[in-house]
Amino acid sequence: MSLLRVENVDKSYGDEEVLHDVSFEMDRQDVEVIVGPSGSGKSTMLRCVNRLTEIDDGAIYLDDEEIHSIDENDLRRRVGMVFQDFNLFAHRTARGNVTLGLTEVLGLSKEEAQAKADDYLGRVGLAEQADSYPAELSGGQKQRVGIARALAMDPELILFDEPTSALDPELIGEVLEVMRDLAEGGMTMLCVTHEMGFARSAASTLTFLDEGRIVERGPPEQLFDTPEHDRTRQFLGELTDLH
């Protein structure tokens, strides 16, 4: 049984069709990577899964339950999200960023939440920075706090929305390393990224999205080495050359 099933999803902003008849499934522990040119609807697809954006048509199932029949706050607790711009709570320390959801949403005591936060910050290599505020952290450190914040909620699935796109090149590695560790640890991940190295080595399935449609989907080596569509070859070829 699949953990996430997206069926015939359509989404438009006004007259602009952003997603057209998108369908795919993910099992537990899958690492699905979506690639595609900017404006192809990748981020919108992610945001539809935790209902930051609402779909126009189609259906999305989490663990066989249609997401609109789940309480939206409950859905978001079960589906974590990591943002391109980090979106760390600017007035709270790294630890405070992780504890807020734990105390407010999961109802943990302050002590329990702090212990759990420190544990997760340790896992992303930020035990030393627990008391630092976002403005005192590097981009890579911020994004690792963002990952710890999502992880600490014990989600069934984490959405990564271009988690390295706002980072200086030398800081991308530390974030990808954390993501690789997560993937190897069995976390189910749906990632939008331009990191072709990560897509090739960590993805269980790679999806190429263009103009709101899935052009091609399969094991990464298939899309990279023997793509069925010229458009896929062209896009992946360009990006791989670039990186």
Partner 1 sequence: MESVFLQAGDWAFIASNGSYLLVGTIVTVLLTVTSLGLGFLAGFPAGAIEVYGSGRLEDIVSTVGVVLRGTPIVVLIFLFHFGLPIPDLGDIQWLDIQLSTFVAATLALGLRSAAYQGQVFRGAIQSIDDGQMEAARSVGMTKLQAIRRVVFPQALRRSVPGFQNEFTIVLKDTSVAFAIGLAELLTRAENLYLQPGRGTAAMEVIITISAIYFVLTFTTNRSLDRLEDVYATPGGNE
Size of the site for partner 1 (CB under 8 A): 28
Encoded one letter per residue, x for contact with partner 1 by CB under 8 A and - for no contact, window 63-82 reads: ----------xxxxx--xx-
For position 87 contacting partner 1 by CB under 8 A, the verdict is yes
- Applying CB under 8 A, which of residues 34, 113, 130, 150 lies at the interface with partner 1? 150
For position 85 contacting partner 1 by CB under 8 A, the verdict is yes
Comparison of 179 and 215: residue with beta carbon closer to partner 1: 179
Share in percent of the chain as helix, strand, coil (round to 5): 45, 25, 35
- One-letter amino acid for residue 5 of the chain: R
Residue 3, classed as helix, strand or coil, is: coil
Tell me which stretch binds partner 1 (CB under 8 A): 21-29, 88-96, 173-181, 195-203: 88-96
* Euclidean distance between CA atoms 226 and 50, whole angstroms: 33
Burial letters for 79-88: b for 16+ Cβ neighbours within 10 Å, e otherwise?
bbbbbbebeb
Comparison of 104 and 170: residue with beta carbon closer to partner 1: 104
Burial class (CB in 10 A: 0-12, 13-18, 19+), 159: buried
For position 50 contacting partner 1 by CB under 8 A, the verdict is yes
For position 193 contacting partner 1 by CB under 8 A, the verdict is no
**Which residues contact partner 1 (rule: CB under 8 A)?**
50, 52, 73-77, 80-81, 83, 85, 87-91, 100-101, 104-105, 132-136, 149-150, 153
